[in-house]
């Protein structure tokens, strides 16, 4: 945690103005947050790019085309200028983020056009990006333990510039494919399935039951989860149970036994084992340590 804070401070001292031969950036702030939970719905006039080092949650955009994107380790996501959005996590996310805008007076017309297209129609969330060059650049900006291995201020700024420049490549809008069109047609089914799951956590939630509710096949339900939100049906149900349990533990005085029942774990033993596996803490200790979040 201390190393993340030190890396953040270094970037905010050395890499706020990033000039280049054909594209220049003004950075508003760099950030590292090892335990990011919920933030309010908000929007801003600049780009904010985030990378998930660890944890799970979701990123939501609001407006004419509301969308939710599950967040997990290796996800890279883009908040565009003027788009209302929110990050939510019951268990905490380890995030790095940077807020910036193009310095159009010092950038070529081609680069200005690229970032304007990005603001209008970026790919919002990319998954399994751990091995991507963009993430390698971000990792290089995190200070190593050995001071001899740290980059100089000019080198840090050069890497930071390369990172921001790479965003126009990785988030560039893709041409729709048949699979993407099928995915959009399944958006309403995904929303209905997620609402049904959230409203019925205290009941057995199987593929068969959700498929019956949606009047589609079990195979189709499985496919819309894996293709639509890049997560398995069972994984989503498990995360929803943990998320609701974490909320009840930190925001209410409901007994742990009742929370286990309300969230579908059945008994305290099963609940404790699953919750500790997901969060690293048993329910009682989680409630005690997070009680200040109310």
Average pLDDT over residues 40-60: 95
Distance, in Å, from the CA atom of 180 to the CA atom of 122, rounded to the nearest integer, reads 15
Q: List, in sequence order, every residue forming a beta bridge with 55; answer none if it has no partner.
A: 93
Q: Say if CB 270 and CB 260 are below 8 A apart.
A: yes
Quick one: pLDDT band at residue 78, thresholds 50, 70, 90? very high
Q: Say if CB 138 and CB 99 are below 8 A apart.
A: no
Average pLDDT over residues 205-221: 89
Is residue 95 helix, strand or coil?
A: strand
CA nearest neighbour of 257 among 285, 284, 288, 276 = 284
pLDDT in tens, 226-256: 877 778 899 899 999 999 999 899 989 999 9
pLDDT of 177 higher than 90 = no
> For residue 290, what are its two tokens?
């997070």
pLDDT of residue 108: 95
CA distances from residue 185 to 214, 219, 263, 278 in whole angstroms, order as listed:
14, 16, 30, 32
The beta strand positions in the chain, using DSSP E, are: 17-18, 25-36, 47-62, 67-72, 76-79, 84-88, 93-102, 125-126
Rg (CA), the chain: 21
> For residue 255, what are its two tokens?
């007994």
pLDDT of 181 higher than 60 = no
Distance, in Å, from the CA atom of 21 to the CA atom of 104, rounded to the nearest integer, reads 13
pLDDT in tens, 96-138: 999 999 999 999 999 999 999 999 989 999 998 999 999 999 9
Range with the lowest mean pLDDT among 33-42, 143-152, 199-208, 258-267? 143-152
pLDDT of residue 144: 87
Q: Say if CB 113 and CB 48 are below 8 A apart.
A: no
Which pTM value belongs to this model? 0.71
Distance, in Å, from the CA atom of 167 to the CA atom of 49, rounded to the nearest integer, reads 8
Average pLDDT over residues 207-225: 88
With a CB cutoff of 8 Å and minimum separation 6, the contacts of 19 are: 103, 106, 161
Q: Say if CB 214 and CB 189 are below 8 A apart.
A: yes
pLDDT of 185 higher than 80 = no
State the DSSP string of 167-201. HHHHTPPPPP-HHHHHHHHTHHHHHHHHHHHHHTT
pLDDT of 292 higher than 60 = no
Q: What mean pLDDT is reported for the chain? A: 89
Distance, in Å, from the CA atom of 194 to the CA atom of 231, rounded to the nearest integer, reads 12
């Amino acid at each position: 945690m201390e190393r993340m804070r030190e890396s953040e401070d270094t970037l905010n001292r050395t890499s706020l103005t990033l000039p280049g031969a054909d594209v220049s950036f003004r950075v508003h702030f760099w950030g590292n947050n090892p335990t990011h939970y919920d933030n309010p719905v908000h929007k801003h006039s600049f780009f904010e790019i985030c990378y998930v080092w660890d944890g799970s949650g979701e990123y939501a955009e609001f407006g004419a085309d509301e969308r939710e994107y599950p967040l997990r380790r290796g996800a890279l996501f883009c908040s565009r200028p003027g788009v209302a959005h929110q990050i939510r996590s019951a268990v905490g996310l380890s995030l790095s983020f940077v807020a910036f805008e193009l310095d159009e007076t010092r950038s070529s017309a081609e680069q200005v056009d690229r970032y304007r297209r990005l603001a209008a129609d970026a790919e919002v969330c990319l998954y399994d990006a751990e091995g991507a060059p963009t993430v390698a650049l971000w990792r290089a900006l995190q200070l190593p333990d050995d001071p001899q291995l740290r980059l100089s201020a000019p080198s840090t700024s050069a890497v930071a510039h390369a990172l921001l420049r790479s965003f126009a490549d990785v988030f560039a809008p893709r041409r729709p494919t048949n699979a993407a069109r099928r995915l959009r047609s399944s958006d309403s089914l995904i929303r209905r399935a997620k609402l049904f799951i959230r409203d019925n956590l205290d009941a057995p939630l199987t593929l068969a039951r959700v498929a019956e509710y949606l009047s589609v096949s079990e195979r189709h339900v499985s496919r819309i989860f894996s293709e639509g939100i890049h997560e398995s049906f069972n994984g989503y149900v498990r995360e929803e149970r943990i998320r609701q349990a974490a909320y009840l533990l930190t925001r209410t005085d409901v007994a742990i036994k009742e929370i286990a029942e309300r969230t579908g774990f059945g008994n305290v033993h099963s609940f404790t084992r699953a919750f500790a596996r997901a969060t690293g803490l048993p329910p009682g200790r989680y409630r005690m340590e997070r009680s200040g979040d109310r």
